[in-house]
Amino acid sequence: MPHVLLAAYAGTICGVESNAMQFYPKASSEFLKVHPGLYQRRDSVLDLGTLTGPGFGYAGVEPLA
């Protein structure tokens, strides 16, 4: 998520690679619940609507045991 936020706010970054969920599905499962738009590309665009407020978007995500 930090790389997606950086790309959203830095005008010089034109895109990010967002395929980590393919390689680490268990680690991504809690993030999917909180930020589903980051895992559903529509016309090659991610929905960043749930990434609001301060921080890196980890609020509301339960840590893996």
**The predicted structure's pLDDT at residue 64:** 60
Compute the CA torsion angle 35, 49, 14, 1 (nearest 10 deg).
Answer: -30
Q: pLDDT means per 10 residues in the chain (65 residues)?
A: 78 76 75 85 86 76 66
Distance (Å, rounded) from C-alpha 15 to C-alpha 34?
22
**The predicted structure's pLDDT at residue 63:** 67
**pTM (predicted TM-score):** 0.67
Delimit the domains of the chain by residue range: 18-52
CB 35 within 8 A of CB 29: no
